[in-house]
Structure 1
Amino acid sequence: MRKIVFYGAISLDGFLADEQDNLQWLFDTDLAGVSTYEAFDKDVDTVVMGRVTYEETKKILGDENLFPGKEKIIFSRTEKEELEEGRYVSGDTVTILEELQKQAGDSIWIVGGGGLFTELVMADMIDEFWIQIAPVLLGKGKRLFEEGKYRKRLEFVETTQMGELTELHFRKITANKSNTR
């Protein structure tokens, strides 16, 4: 079964985007030096995100191809048309991701969408978390971890410094590991 992973950045105060869904604060962050992205990217062939995350990222990238060579699944309650670089889906997030997991392929990357992410965390479907923390305070916006019923302990893997970002890598504790503790 394919892994579901989250790889993304948040502000120091826990926001994915500001109040206007803007992500420019992230693109203004110095990312010089070590990066885990290239190694992470090699193990991913499907990218999943919400419509707002997709639209905001496209605004910043302009004509540049978003996640080239990867299948793009965009959750939307309103959009239905076909995309050149992906497809819109709607429906139960957990059911759709369970079906994707059964298909042949590499890891499934949850890029963004706080609500989408929260549903998957509550269903205990995120296998690994790579969270980069930027030295930015936004004060308000869209949180990565929305309120929900998902109290869990994760296994620490490593910390990596990437320019101004500090990356925390965790993975879900499997039943075998939690039984031995």
Structure 2
Amino acid sequence: MIVRKVILYITMSLDGYITDQHGRIDWLHGDNPTDEKTESYHHLLKHVDSVIMSEKAFRMIGKKVNQYWIHQGLKIYVLSSLTQLSSDHVIVTSEDICSLVQKIKQESGKDIWICGGQQLITPLIQANMIDEYHISMIPTLIGKGTRLFEDFDQETRLSLIKTYVYNGIVDIEYKKKIY
């Protein structure tokens, strides 16, 4: 049986923020805002069939992107109590993130993408449940906002898998070291 990996794939500013101080993400682009080359993103989509995100991330990313994911056959899990967001491909749940990930891992399928936000990421780090970290660093300094990583209780050692560089963006992929 193939074990499904849990992959954090997320974008951050060079100084470590995932949103600016007003909760916006309109700065998420490289040197040329019209260049849509995202090699690592398309590579990720070939290997996942489930996306987990917070309600805030779901609303920020917008219907346009989520419709693209639906057409790619991805099942989207949104952690929220607002059931009106549900559809055939969008499953809204108020389940604990670690329990949800554990449940999805027991099902057959491809890898699981953790899209955001921070309130989902920190408990998964604490529970040592993230297998790979794929982080796109945008060539922008935000100064204030929501940090990608907040305080957590343990050190997690990682090994470099690959890097991609395009349009001023640096994508870094790490895997969890197994001892």
Would you say the 8 A contact 2:85–2:92 is kept in 1? Answer: yes
Q: Which amino acid aligns with 2:139?
A: P
Match of 2:84 in 1: 81
Q: What's 1:166 paired with?
A: 170
**Match runs of 1:21-170 below 5 Å:** 21-27=23-29, 30=32, 31=35, 35-58=39-62, 61=64, 65-68=67-70, 69-76=73-80, 78-84=81-87, 85-170=89-174
Query: What's the offset of the Cα at 1:95?
Result: 1.1
Asked if structure 2 preserves the Cα contact closer than 8 Å seen for 1:8 and 1:112, the reply is: yes
Contact 2:30–2:139, Cα closer than 8 Å, also in 1: no
Q: Is the 8 A contact 2:7 2:112 kept in 1?
A: yes
Task: Check the 8 A contact 1:34/1:161 in 2, yes or no.
Answer: no
Provide TM-score, normalisation by structure 2.
0.88
Shift of the 93–161 alpha-carbon distance from structure 1 to 2, 3 Å rule, reads: same
SS in 2 for 1:25: coil
Conserved 8 A contact 1:58-1:66: no
CA-to-aligned-CA distance 1:70-122 (integer Å, 9 cap, x gap):
0000011x312352340111132111110111001000000111010111111
Partner amino acid, structure 1, of 2:40: T
Across the two proteins, how many residue pairs are aligned to each other?
A: 172
Unpaired runs of at least 5, structure 2: none
d(CA) in 2 for partners of 1:165 and 1:83? 33
Name whichever of 34-43 and 104-113 sits farther off.
Answer: 34-43
For the residues of structure 2 that align with 1:27 and 1:167, how far apart are their CA atoms? 13
SS of equivalent residue, structure 1 residue 67: helix
Gaps of 5+ in 1: 176-181
